[in-house]
């Protein structure tokens, strides 16, 4: 069985020769030496003996705006992004945290009704165009040695989650949902239509699977709001992908215990970055007990646990995760992110574990 077949079958909960291991290298990879980063994440995953699952490494589309312009101004550790619309500017402010090598959004651009109208103009002005060649190049480049999960969504996520994370924040979005429901529905309608174009293009592309960075978590959204605003959009995506026999994987790295049953209703093929405490709020064995047999999970190892535990304890824990999967597809991985100081040797040992373990062959 090739690596691509192993990963794809795991996501589809079909028979595999063994459980794959593919670490999620968010943050970690950015701190590796420049010569390693220059070769790319695919090469690094192969080097450590993993099964390369390329999460969101390419898109079957590009976006641009006809009339709205975007400016960026950086002063020290403050970056301002200004979107110019004919109704006025939308201003994002980011603060750079050197320890994490990350720009954090510290001021949202949509604060009131007027800003919502500006956002509608911005998204109406946006054009989604095909970018099939990028997908072709990556798929042909990795051949059978990995699997690409092509990213969907104009911001890599559902419309409501996009507003929550990038444009309004949780508190203001909840206020707008109560104070300006019709305007919010209008804004979401425009955003969802743009997202839908990205899904249709991805379904037509050479990509064999898709993902969105939903970051689903009840730390920033209630189950009722999720069911009302996010569920219908992702359910539509899943219907499209399932009709062309391409799995959709939902990245959900936070507190998902109260959201899993809704994700089951969406008919997603797999939930990616399932995270136990302290980062998440559900052990993977419990998550397996909730989902149907034809639904897979990816993750299981908390990033703090990965960083701090000994190799021996880490491998024992990984064995228990593999045992807990039952008839479900499973890809062993750290979840949410990867601390930069994790020893590379831990990845190598986990890769060896799944290849040598007597309990990892599928019983599907």
92-120 per-position pLDDT tens digit: 999 999 887 889 999 999 999 999 999 99
pLDDT band at 364 (very low <50, low <70, confident <90, very high): very low
**Architecture of the structural domain at 3-60+131-356:** Alpha-Beta Barrel (3.20)
Question: What digits encode the pLDDT tens for the residues 175-190?
Answer: 999 999 999 999 999 9
pTM (two decimals): 0.95
25 CB burial (10 A radius; 0-12, 13-18, 19+): buried
Tell me how far apart the alpha carbons of residues 213 and 152 are, in angstroms, rounded to a whole number. 9
pLDDT of residue 99: 82
Identify the weakest region by mean pLDDT among 45-49, 67-71, 101-105, 175-179.
101-105
Q: pLDDT over 90 for what percent of the chain?
A: 96
pLDDT of res. 357: 66
pLDDT at 163 over 60: yes
Tokens standing for 322? Answer: 């593999």
Q: How far apart are CA 272 and CA 256, in angstroms?
A: 11
Q: Are 214 and 157 in contact (CB under 8 A)?
A: yes
| pLDDT range class, residue 258, cuts 50, 70, 90 | very high
For the record, the structure tokens of 122 come out as 């911005």
Q: Give the span between the Cα atoms of 353 and 348, in whole angstroms.
A: 9
pLDDT at 98: 87
């Amino acid at each position: 069985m090739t690596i691509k077949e192993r990963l794809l079958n795991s996501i589809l909960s079909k028979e595999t020769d063994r459980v794959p291991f593919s670490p999620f290298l968010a943050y970690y990879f950015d701190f590796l030496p420049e010569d390693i980063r220059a070769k790319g994440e695919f090469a690094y995953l192969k080097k450590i003996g993993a099964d390369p699952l390329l999460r969101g490494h390419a898109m079957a589309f590009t976006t641009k705006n006809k009339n709205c312009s975007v400016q960026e101004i950086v002063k020290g550790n403050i970056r301002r992004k200004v979107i110019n619309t004919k109704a006025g500017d939308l201003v994002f402010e980011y603060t750079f945290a050197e320890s994490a090598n990350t720009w954090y959004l510290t001021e949202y651009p949509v604060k009131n009704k007027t800003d919502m109208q500006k956002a509608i103009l911005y998204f109406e002005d946006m054009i989604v165009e095909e970018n099939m060649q990028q997908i072709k190049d990556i798929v042909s480049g990795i051949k059978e040695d990995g699997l690409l999960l092509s990213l969907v969504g104009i911001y890599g996520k559902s419309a409501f989650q996009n507003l929550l994370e990038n444009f309004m924040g949780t508190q203001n979005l909840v206020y707008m949902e109560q104070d300006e429901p019709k305007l919010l529905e209008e804004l979401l309608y425009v955003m969802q239509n743009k997202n839908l174009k990205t899904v249709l293009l991805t379904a037509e592309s050479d990509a064999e699977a898709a993902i969105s960075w939903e970051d689903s978590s009840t730390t920033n959204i209630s189950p009722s709001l999720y069911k009302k605003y996010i569920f219908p959009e992702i359910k539509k995506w899943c219907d499209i992908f399932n009709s062309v026999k391409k799995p959709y994987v939902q990245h959900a790295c936070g507190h998902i215990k109260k959201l899993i049953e809704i994700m089951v209703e969406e008919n997603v093929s797999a939930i990616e970055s399932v995270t136990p405490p302290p980062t998440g709020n559900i052990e993977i064995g419990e998550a397996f007990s909730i989902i149907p047999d034809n639904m897979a999970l990816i993750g299981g190892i908390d990033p703090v646990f990965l960083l701090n535990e000994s190799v021996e304890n880490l491998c024992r824990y990984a064995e228990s995760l593999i045992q807990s999967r039952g008839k479900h597809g499973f890809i062993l991985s750290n979840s949410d992110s990867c601390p930069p100081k994790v020893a590379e040797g831990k990845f190598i040992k986990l890769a060896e574990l799944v290849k040598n373990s007597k309990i990892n062959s599928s019983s599907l």
